[in-house]
């Protein structure tokens, strides 16, 4: 009797456990299975750039100082009192523009005196000429001595030379009057006047009246190690025939240089290295490289310091955005490339500097490789790749 009761209890318990298990399968466990069946596959959003090998020029960034293309010190060629200053300080002056006026009156009077002396000399010449002609006629009849004829000839030649001397003196006086108006020898920006009206000036003065600097084109002097000179010459010689033809037409054997005027707006200008202006500092042994640049807007002023980018090497390389380069734990640089099969793989690369915010890659890539620029953090094993083309505008954003 007791055994039957125990069997009945075990049977009832088994039924209850089975019922609970069936209920759980249709409840909590069933919900998880259905959720797993409807969850979409993982997707990795990435942007890529196609590697393209192109000629690249690497630069050395150096500081240089601006020097005026030409500098002229204004000095008087005659002595006198300054009566007028005929320019505005700091303005652009043209060649032959009047700058200072020296008192003209003494020169005008001097010209009048020289004109009178010349007139007297001409009268004396006319008289000596008539006397010489008259004695020549008398000499035909032997009515005059040989000595008298020679003396008349001498007086005639002397009077003629005296006329020439007085004419030259008159020309010098007229030139002095012209020099009384002091003019600009070159075009450029004239600095402050170093003398004022009422100053007595002389052509022997050590002090200039003013200084003009031509800056429509300027020089920029940059220092480099002297060991760079053979490399610079090699870069010029390696230019294309078209580049060399342009240089010959410009009558300049130079090498292109970038000039960075301001860091705020990224304004750049270009110039050329003038090899005739290269010299070595005897004190430091540095190579002083002279760059010439057009400066029509007067952006560069004498004495200003600017940064220059001087070519140091030409090569064929890949340019990749900085965010495309990853670093391994040992410091090696690598990129992630999308293969033709749609997989991703790492390529260790060699970097050779930065140009225009792009890394210069010389090894580790092949032409046409699809390099991931953004979305590295989305790369999960088993995730499908959603590939888009990377645009440079994204860098600015």
List of domains in the chain: 45-54+316-396 (2.40.420.20), 59-69+216-314 (2.40.30.170), 76-103+181-207 (2.40.50.100), 104-179 (1.10.287.470)
The pLDDT value recorded for residue 208 is 95
Percentage above 90 pLDDT, the chain: 46
SS3 content of the chain, % helix, strand, coil (to 5): 35, 35, 30
Q: Is the pLDDT at 20 greater than 70, yes or no? A: no
Phi-psi region of 54 (alpha: psi -120 to 50; beta: other; left: phi over 0): beta
Residue 206 or 244, more confident: 206
Q: pLDDT tens for residues 166-206?
A: 999 999 999 999 999 999 999 999 999 999 999 999 988 98
355 alpha carbon, distance to own chain's centre: 18
Give 9's Cβ-side CA count (13 Å radius). 6
Percentage above 70 pLDDT, the chain: 82
Rounded CA separation 362/333 (Å): 12
Q: Is the pLDDT at 161 greater than 50, yes or no? A: yes
Q: pLDDT tens for residues 327-374?
A: 998 989 999 999 888 888 899 999 988 887 889 999 999 998 999 999
Helix-helix angle 28-38:2-25, to 10 degrees? 30
Q: Is the pLDDT at 26 greater than 70, yes or no? A: no
Q: Does the model's pTM come out above 0.85?
A: no
DSSP of 153-187, one letter per residue? HHHHHHHHHHHHHHHHHHHHHHHHHHHTEEE-SS-
The pLDDT value recorded for residue 265 is 57
Q: Is the pLDDT at 9 greater than 60, yes or no? A: no
C-beta separation of 75 from 199 below 8 A: no
Q: Is the pLDDT at 17 greater than 80, yes or no? A: no
289 alpha carbon, distance to own chain's centre: 13
C-beta separation of 186 from 97 below 8 A: no
Cβ-proximal residues to 371 (8 Å cutoff; 6+ apart), any chain: 48, 49, 50, 51, 320, 324, 335, 336, 337, 365
Q: Looking at the DSSP assignment, which residues form a beta bridge with residue 55?
A: 316
Rounded CA separation 62/258 (Å): 10
Across residues 138-151, what is the average pLDDT? 86
Which residue's structure tokens are 């009422």?
A: 198
Q: Is the pLDDT at 2 greater than 60, yes or no? A: no
Q: Is the pLDDT at 240 greater than 90, yes or no? A: no
Chain mean pLDDT for the chain: 82
């Amino acid at each position: 009797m007791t055994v039957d009761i125990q069997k009945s209890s075990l049977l009832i318990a088994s039924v209850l456990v089975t019922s609970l298990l069936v209920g759980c399968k249709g409840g909590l466990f069933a919900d998880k299975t259905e959720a797993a069946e409807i969850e979409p596959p993982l997707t990795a959003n990435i942007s890529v750039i196609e590697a393209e090998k192109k000629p690249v020029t690497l630069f050395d960034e150096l500081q240089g100082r601006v020097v005026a293309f030409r500098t002229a010190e204004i000095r008087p060629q005659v002595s006198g009192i300054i009566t007028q200053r005929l320019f505005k300080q700091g303005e652009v002056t043209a060649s032959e523009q009047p700058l200072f006026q020296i008192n003209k009156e003494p020169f005008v009077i001097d010209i009048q005196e020289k004109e009178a002396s010349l007139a007297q000399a001409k009268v004396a010449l006319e008289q000596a000429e008539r006397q010489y002609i008259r004695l020549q006629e008398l000499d035909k009849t032997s009515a005059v001595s040989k000595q008298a004829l020679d003396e008349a000839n001498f007086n005639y030649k002397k009077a003629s030379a005296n006329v020439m001397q007085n004419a030259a003196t008159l020309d010098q006086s007229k030139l002095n009057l012209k020099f009384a108006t002091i003019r600009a020898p070159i075009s450029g920006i004239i600095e402050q006047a170093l003398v004022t009206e009422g100053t007595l000036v002389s052509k022997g003065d050590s002090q200039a009246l003013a200084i003009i600097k031509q800056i429509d084109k300027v020089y920029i002097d940059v220092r480099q190690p002297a060991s760079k000179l053979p490399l610079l010459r090699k870069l010029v010689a390696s230019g294309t025939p078209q580049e060399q033809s342009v240089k010959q037409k410009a009558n300049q054997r130079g090498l292109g240089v970038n000039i960075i005027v301001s860091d705020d707006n990224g304004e750049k200008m270009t110039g050329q290295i003038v090899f005739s202006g290269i010299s070595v500092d005897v004190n430091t042994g540095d190579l002083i490289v002279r760059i010439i640049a057009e400066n029509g807007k007067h952006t560069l002023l004498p004495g200003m310091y600017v940064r220059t980018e001087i070519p140091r090497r030409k090569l064929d390389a890949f340019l990749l955005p900085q965010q495309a380069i990853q670093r391994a734990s040992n410091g090696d640089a690598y990129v992630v490339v999308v293969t033709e099969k749609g997989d991703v793989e790492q390529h260790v690369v060699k970097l050779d500097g930065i140009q225009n915010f792009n890394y210069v890659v010389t090894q580790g890539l092949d032409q046409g490789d699809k390099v991931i620029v953004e979305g590295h953090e989305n790369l999960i094993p088993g995730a499908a790749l959603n590939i888009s083309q990377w645009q440079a505008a994204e860098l600015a954003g």
